[in-house]
Amino acid sequence: MMSSQEPIFFNIETKGFYPIVNKILTINIRSRGKNTIWWEYEKGEKEIIEQFYEFTNKINRKYTKFVGFNILEFDVLFLLERLNHQNYNEREINRRWERFGSSLAYIDLRQVLGDSFNKFVEQKDNYIDDKSDLIGNIIPNLYGKGEYTKIEECINDELQHIEKMYDMIKKEPFYQELQKLQDYYLSDN
């Protein structure tokens, strides 16, 4: 059974690992083979968060899921914490928390695979080398140098990597069973 939910592949790039002091540099999605990158250097952090929020307001949870690697423990939490560092009033923050934190459907590939992640990827012939740790470490340096074309290449590679990983996982029997449960609970039953 194929899910009725369309995947949108999602990640963010940040200046560092601590949302209290480090800002979001990019918010990135891949949908239907097309990548969209919201750049902090073009419009500022608050504006890219706002653009992403407006994008998510057009999404129906029943028909869409955000897919990424470690997005629930890093990307979403980072995004939520950064809301507190913008000039939003309490009502605006709460509305965005509600949308980002609980109104969207997420598939976190790290949580789906758990400790079996490394074993899973070792067994797949068509797996792309995992560069996400490397990318996370070099993006802030490239950003500081204004090397946005290189950053865009890294982001595009990472989003394609997430999509290929998801395509492999969704063929696995355990994932198909999880998807049946999710589809059941999202249905009108």
Whether 41 maps to a domain, the answer reads: yes
Report DSSP state, residue 13: E
Per the model's pLDDT, the better-predicted residue between 151 and 105 turns out to be 151
pLDDT over 70 for what percent of the chain?
84
What is the residue range of 39's domain?
6-186
Query: CA separation (Å) from 134 to 21, 115, 129, 155?
Result: 21, 20, 11, 12
pLDDT above 80: residue 116: no
pLDDT above 50: residue 132: no
SS3 28: strand
Whether 1 maps to a domain, the answer reads: no
Q: What is the pLDDT of residues 17-65, one digit of tens each?
A: 999 999 999 999 999 999 999 999 999 999 999 999 999 988 887 788 8
Report residue 161 CA to chain centroid gap. Answer: 12
Whether 101 maps to a domain, the answer reads: yes
Q: How far apart (Å, rounded) are the C-alpha atoms in residues 117 and 131?
A: 14
Whether 107 maps to a domain, the answer reads: yes
Whether 69 maps to a domain, the answer reads: yes
Query: CA separation (Å) from 118 to 51, 76, 123?
Result: 35, 23, 9
Q: Report the domain count for the chain.
A: 1
Cβ count within 10 A of residue 102: 8
Q: CATH number for the domain including 170? A: 3.30.420.10
Which amino acid is located at 104 in the chain?
Answer: L
